[in-house]
Structure formats: C-alpha cells, structure tokens
Amino acid sequence: MQFMTPSSAPDAVPDDEETKIFQGKKGICMTLREEGRQGSYTENLPKIQALNPYWVTTWATKPADGVPTPPSDDGRRTIPAYNNNAGEGSLSSSSSNIDFFPMLWGYYENKIDEFLIDIQQQNQRVVFGFNEPDKIKQSNISVETAIAAWPQLEVTVAEMEETDRSTTILVSPSCANSLNGSWLEEFMIKVDELDLRVDAIGVHNYGGINFNAFTTKMETIYEKCNHRPIIITEFAVADWNSTSVETNKFSSENVLNFMKQVMDWMEEPSQDWILGYAWFSFDIDDQYGTSSALFDSNDSLTPLGEYYSTFKNNNDIIASISIR
C-alpha cells in the first residue's frame, strides 16, 4: 500500500509557516440536530458542554437552526461552552468556546452547492470529507464519485483561506476500514494521479482495548499516507460480537484504562502528527458499546465521561501543522 506526497500548500501561506489549527486536541463527535429530533441540540448541547472539548464535529455542514454560534475573535463560528467559574448555565467568552468543524457527510448532487456554502460560512480551520464512504449504511460513496466531487471541496477551502489569509485543513474521507479495506488506498492513489489536495487523514477506530494495536494502527496509517497528519474523527471500544449489554466482554474499567493509555499517548510531544481525536459515546444500553458510554441513562456523566471531561491537553503541544 503506497500513498503519495502531500499536495502543496496554497500560495497565500508562506512555506514552513507553523499555523495553530486547534485550541487543543480533545474533541467530541455528537449530533446537534433540530429541536424535536432524536439527537437534537436541546438534548446534546449540554452533553457536549459537560465534556469540555476544544472542538466538535456533528457530521453536518453547520449546526442546526437554534444552536447558538457566537463568533470567535477571528470570525470562526463556535459553540458556546459553560464557564465553570461563572456558575452552571453561564456561557464562557468566545475565546474559550468550542470550535465547530464542518463535515460534508455524503454526496448529494442536487444539494452539493448549498452544503459547500454552509461549510464556507463556518469559516473554520478544519473541514472533514465524507463519512465512512466504504460502508453501505453510512455515506456509501464510490471512490470515483468522491474523486469527482473533491475539487469542489478544494475550491471551497481555498476561498476560505483567501478570505482571511489563514490555513484551513482539508481532511480526507474517514473510512470505517482504513487499513483492512481498499477504499482509502484507491482514493489516495487517485488523489496523487490528479494532484488533488488532502492535508490530513481522517481515521475511525472501533476496536478492542489493546493499546499496542491502537498505536500500531495509527502509526501504520501515518506511514502509509506519507506522513500526513491524522485526525481521529471517531473512536471508542466496541464488542461487535456482543448479543446484549450483559454479555459485552469489555467492562467499564477495561475501557477507562484503555482511554487513559491512548489519550496520554496521543498527547505526547512525539505524537504531534496526531492533530486531534474525538471519542464516540455509545448509548449506555447499546449492546456493542455500552462500556464506551460517556453518559448514563439519566444523562449524567459515567466514570468514563468524568475522565474525558476533566482530561486536559498538554498546552505546550497544542496541535499545529507545518505548511509544506
């Protein structure tokens, strides 16, 4: 499996300029749908805020109508975070709000222009490509369709950069099977042949609790993608053979220990090629991922959720990327 050298940066950005992309590495993936729908912002915004992430992705091009999106000092759309010092229910200043990173989840020919405008209006530093295009029950996009659509994303990102003279990271589609399947390999080969732009690799991981397996997978993807940085857009522990919550082979203690190991590892200075990561919180009654739930049936933090909420980034190594 041989991938290519990253494409060149826009002319507007000087060579070797180091650009801050994230406030911190720790993110969260959770829906913020319209009020009245399952996974609505009225249900999930308090959960996101309780987890204290630096960034959030919702699998959408923009937050639903009704979600407050105060601008940051440099004009980026953000999600309000609680200011713990001001008391529960008080919103923090924009400087400590949560960055919203848009995603083009799937390809819809009759809506692509509308979705790209939505993305551009977020004025963000990170834009995620398609979600699990290699999976029938997810975006289910062929490599050919993704490649045909990709230049439109490139133009959108370039226009965002031209507007405020800063860097935006265009992230590859996040595959369900980055190594075991062929989708990512075929996509990146086409990217190389056509000289398309991919700045970072989106990765999903829903394996077991083997720390070495996790780190080896991330290192392998990094190496095979010619040292492009990666962003783990979804990860959690899952027992895909479980038939019930009770028979899930991973205990909550198992998963907590795994989380502590991998998050400490991802925050080490030597892992500066990992730009960010976002835990996926299964529901507590999900037979496959019950032990990965960050919230219990009363929407209170589980011990796992408490750890994720209180975990702080190493501020000395806030993710940045060197423009090549």
Q: Domain extents for the chain?
A: 18-322
What Rg do the C-alpha atoms of the chain give, in angstroms?
A: 19
Give one word for 104, left, alpha or beta, with left for phi > 0 and alpha for psi -120 to 50. beta
DSSP 8-state symbol, 94: G
Q: Which distant-in-sequence residues (6+ apart) come within 8 Å of 257 by Cβ?
A: 209
For position 18, what pLDDT does the model report?
Answer: 52
Q: Which helix (H) or strand (E) is 100 found in, with range?
A: strand 98-100
E strands, 217-313, where? 230-235, 274-280
Note if the pTM is more than 0.75: yes
For position 173, what pLDDT does the model report?
Answer: 96
Average per-residue pLDDT for the chain: 86
Mean pLDDT on 185-196:
93
> CB–CB of 269/239 below 8 Å?
no
Rounded to an integer, what distance in angstroms lies between the CA atom of residue 314 and that of residue 126?
Answer: 20
CATH pick for 18-322 out of 1.10.357.10, 3.90.226.10, 3.20.20.80, 3.40.50.10420: 3.20.20.80
User: Which three-class secondary structure state does DSSP give residue 39?
Assistant: coil
Q: Which of 23-27, 48-52, 89-93, 200-204 has the lowest mean pLDDT?
A: 89-93
**Model confidence at 20: pLDDT above 70:** no
Residue 142 burial (10 A CB sphere; 0-12, 13-18, 19+): middle
User: Which three-class secondary structure state does DSSP give residue 290?
Assistant: helix
Rounded to an integer, what distance in angstroms lies between the CA atom of residue 87 and that of residue 17?
Answer: 39
